Structure 1
Amino acid sequence: MTAIRKPFVLGFVLSMLIMLIAACSSGNNGNSEGNASSGEKPAESNQASETPAEPVEITWWNFPNYQPLDGEVGKYEKEIIAAFNQQYPDIKVNLEMITFDGGPEKLNIAISTNSAPDLIYDAPGRIIDWAKKDLLAPLDDMVTDEVRSDISEALWKQSMVGGKTYMYPINTAPFMMAVNKTVFEKMGKLDLLPLDRPDRTWTFEEYKTALQAVKDNAPDVIPSGFFAKSQAGDQGTRGYITNLGVSRFLNEDYSAVAINTDQAAAALDWIVQAQKDGLIVNGSASLAASDVNDLFLQGKLAFTINYSAVLKAQNKTLKKAEFEEVLLPFPTLDGSEPKLEPYLGGMAIFNNKDEAKIAAAKKLIDFIANDPEWGKKNLIQTGGLSARNSITGLYEDEDYKYSELARKFITDPPTIADGYAEIRTYWFPELQRALLGAATGKEALDAFAEKANEAISKAKAAQ
């Protein structure tokens, strides 16, 4: 009997030990139901730790769309990435800052060598052209119905091709002029500017009077700027000439050039003569948009013709003289409402045939545009207005309030036209011909129209 009892007792003891060890293990791992007596909440399941996400690495190329922090270009973007990684630690973002001068060519080389970045923050002029060449990934699956209805049709037109969305619109502002208000205050001629009018509209003749006042009373200041080198800032020269001549750049269905009118040609002839008369900067045929804005930031130029609320913010730390600049719409021949092209900034994804990278890039876009904390912060850092109609009143500055009002002057931009990337290459060479005396305004605009219309037809035929 003793022999029988010993194995039984031993087995019983072993069973109890196993149960005790199991109970201890369960306690150490935590109770999935929580501990009611202690008031502890059940531990949340961390799916990421159970099945770790596969790390993804994406490359973001960015023009200086954000105001630099502490004078360092790209520093703010690094803060965005750090905040993004708090939510998405498995997505590594490689940032490369590019300039407005050399960036476009660098992008062209990258595309031609199959080394395009995954993500770009840019404008429709290039993005829509890339979309038409089937280089981008569509973004429709990340555009909610709320966002779709909150952005104007004019901005969506600049973001879509063939019914698909290829640019996620973020910030906007109408392109217009800026004036050195301080110059007019010192001259005692502030009344020559239309600042007492709610919409600030004014006539060509009023503008000429203001230029002459600068020439007569502030000899160290160039009255106004113009430029015709490279492609950057072409919207400034387009807006200037079309409004002075009360014309359109392209017709309403984008099928042909419309700027080669007698009135627009007369405006271009006036620009050529105004340069000779000292009302417009000399040597403008060899100046780029950045050269002219740099003269403005040095306090050497009274008017600059390629400006916006976005540029005003970006230039805040670049000023080389103390003065107050004020936004103004382009003057029109008859004082009618101006037609202003919209600046639109947004993000696009190159289709590099990697679905994981495309998905990761969409997450970064969504974070930049819509994160409850960073979305508004990022928008303000661009110095722009929101592309969304419901987001207003971001700034106390009077110029920003005016810029919001001036959105009513926004017209359809030519950037969505078929063949636009080629069209713009013909614009500045013809302006240069007029400025150098090799063609009249009408001859230059007619020559531009002939080449541009051919580009439009060729692009349409290729579809």
Structure 2
Amino acid sequence: MNTVKKGLMTLLGITLIGTQLVACGSTSTSDSTKTADPAPSDTKETTTTDTAKKDEAKPVEITWWNFPSFQALDGEVGKYEKQIIEAFNKKYPEIKVNLEMITFEAGPEKLNVAIASNTAPDVIYDAPGRILDWAKKDLLAPLDDMVTDEVRKDIPEALWKQSMVGDKTYMYPINTAPFMMGVNKTVFEKIGALDLLPLDRPDRTWTFDEYKKALQAVKEKAPDIIPSGFFAKSQAGDQGTRAYIANLGNSPFLNDDYSKIAINTDKAGAALDWIRQGVKDKLVVSGSESLTGGDVNDLFLQGKLAITLNYSPVLRAQNATLKKAEFEDVLVPFPTIDGAKPKLEPYLGGMAIFNNGNDAKIAAAKKLIDFIANDPEWGRKDLIQTGGLSARSSITGLYNDPEYTYAEQAREFYTNPPTIVDGYAEVRTFWFPELQRVLLGKATGKEALDSFAQKADEAIAKAKADAGK
């Protein structure tokens, strides 16, 4: 199999890749979880009825790097992961798992350095934006041998497209959630404008005009609250701004065969122009060009923002203990011009294995992934701890919460996300600079989207050509 070392030269010049997840401000911790010295054995899969064989399992040590994919226990980042490892070692005492927690801010750069220096971890829990890029650079071990026919059929095609390169699977899908908007429901209740939200509709779809009326009501009746958020700094959270503009303009982000950018339409350009005007009209947060997704999320947590545009059930769960003001937050889809069904990008979390050239480590990493995703007891617990929905269609009803019930339904709005496009890692770097040009008055919305499309199309074509060599 190919090793990470073989991909060294392709990674030496790589720039920092922003997170596909929402921007978060978690604290980095590093830890190593050890097991008792096991008796020697072979590395093959063992069964509970084959005790002698299990006793002979050869010890193997793997390193697991993890973003804060699971909610912290007792305020301690990584505490839940330690519990996973402890339970895993009861089944596989011969596998020692070294855990290192990394942050969404510093983690991507740390991974790039580790890959370039041939010190990548063995296994990681991450999202398609980075994982598919690594797979295309031949840095990962394929996982097809651990995907059963049952699992293959139970996970929607849109999610498999985010987990595969060609006909090979490189990410094991675990949790998902639709990226939507978050609303401070309490604000609308206090100003008597709850009826302006689409919460009484089963699918909660709404029009651009209805959305603007809701923002105007906040501006007039709650002048100390910012009606809506927007941001254009860094790369994190780009899926929020991307889907926001695409839906406001009823425009797809990519064409049907994912070969070109399609969001540079007149309607999407007009939506971007409206956002710039919204800043002037105090319907959109001021200084958007210099705000990150994390900055806007903080405003929402402080109760200073009525509607945020980069939200999901996962972020809602993470925010539950981080709120600096008491309010109820609910989920709504992005509005569209005529109230048509929105197109929502799916968040997907899953695990991948770096091909570090050691078959025993790869086999051990697969056992850890299978335990986290499919163990009869821990599989369900792990899903709930992510705050997300199961990637598997048959696993529902994990939460007794109407917002999760709605999120389950909103999966019908899933569309294929840009993360599957060739050259995505470079494509996303062109997005926010163009948004900033509009917000600073240096370009119209259409001009900025045309400029983005030109640069992105060139990156896509180049990536396709390189892949064909």
- Equivalenced residue count is 420
Structure 2 residue aligned with 1:226: 230
Q: Which amino acid aligns with 1:442?
A: K
Query: Which structure has more helix as a fraction of its residues?
Result: 1
Query: 5+ unaligned residues in a row in structure 1: which ranges?
Result: 1-42
Structure 1 residue aligned with 2:180: 176
Distance in 2, matches of 1:267 and 1:204, equals 10
Structure 2 residue aligned with 1:46: 51
Structure 1 residue 392 and structure 2 residue 396: aligned?
yes
SS at match of 2:131: helix
Give the one of 424, 430, 436 matched to 1:420: 424
SS at match of 2:297: helix
Structure 1 residue aligned with 2:65: 61
Structure 2 residue aligned with 1:251: 255
SS at match of 1:177: strand
Structure 1 residue 202 and structure 2 residue 206: aligned?
yes
Structure 2 residue aligned with 1:457: 461
Distance in 1, matches of 2:441 and 2:92, equals 58
Summarize the Cα distance change of 1:364–1:440 in structure 2 as closer, same or farther, 3 Å threshold.
Answer: same
Structure 1 residue 78 and structure 2 residue 82: aligned?
yes
Query: With structure 2 as the length reference, what TM-score do the two structures score?
Result: 0.88
Residue 46 (structure 1) shift: 2.9
Per-residue CA deviation, residues 402-438 of structure 1 (Å, 9 max, x unaligned), is 0001001111111100111110010011111111111
Distance in 1, matches of 2:259 and 2:449, equals 16
Structure 1 residue 188 and structure 2 residue 192: aligned?
yes
Q: Which amino acid aligns with 1:409?
A: F
Structure 2 residue aligned with 1:132: 136
Structure 1 residue 145 and structure 2 residue 149: aligned?
yes
Per-residue CA deviation, residues 180-226 of structure 1 (Å, 9 max, x unaligned), is 00000010110110111000000001111111111111111111100
Distance in 1, matches of 2:116 and 2:299, equals 35
SS at match of 2:104: coil
Structure 1 residue 370 and structure 2 residue 374: aligned?
yes
Structure 2 residue aligned with 1:101: 105
Structure 1 residue aligned with 2:353: 349
Distance in 2, matches of 1:45 and 1:200, equals 53
Per-residue CA deviation, residues 314-368 of structure 1 (Å, 9 max, x unaligned), is 1111111100000000000111000000001000001111111100000000000
Per-residue CA deviation, residues 356-386 of structure 1 (Å, 9 max, x unaligned), is 1100000000000000000000001111110
Residue 48 (structure 1) shift: 4.3
Per-residue CA deviation, residues 279-305 of structure 1 (Å, 9 max, x unaligned), is 111111111111101110110100000
Distance in 1, matches of 2:100 and 2:294, equals 21
SS at match of 1:58: strand
Structure 1 residue aligned with 2:294: 290
Summarize the Cα distance change of 1:371–1:49 in structure 2 as closer, same or farther, 3 Å threshold.
Answer: closer
Q: Which amino acid aligns with 1:46?
A: T
Distance in 2, matches of 1:114 and 1:288, equals 32
Distance in 1, matches of 2:118 and 2:214, equals 51
Aligned CA-pair RMSD: 1.1
Rg larger for: 1
Q: Which amino acid aligns with 1:375?
A: G
Asked if 2 retains the 8 angstrom alpha-carbon contact of 1:71 and 1:317, the reply is no
Q: Which amino acid aligns with 1:154?
A: A
Distance in 1, matches of 2:200 and 2:412, equals 18
Q: Which amino acid aligns with 1:260?
A: N
SS at match of 1:199: coil
Query: 5+ unaligned residues in a row in structure 2: which ranges?
Result: 1-47
Structure 1 residue aligned with 2:24: none
Asked if 2 retains the 8 angstrom alpha-carbon contact of 1:110 and 1:116, the reply is yes
SS at match of 1:446: helix
Structure 2 residue aligned with 1:325: 329
SS at match of 1:404: helix
% identical equivalent positions: 78
Residue 49 (structure 1) shift: 6.7
Q: Which amino acid aligns with 2:51?
A: N
SS at match of 2:316: helix
Distance in 2, matches of 1:366 and 1:372, equals 11
Q: Which amino acid aligns with 1:410?
A: Y
Runs of 4+ in 1 over 6 A off after TM superposition: none
Distance in 2, matches of 1:58 and 1:311, equals 29
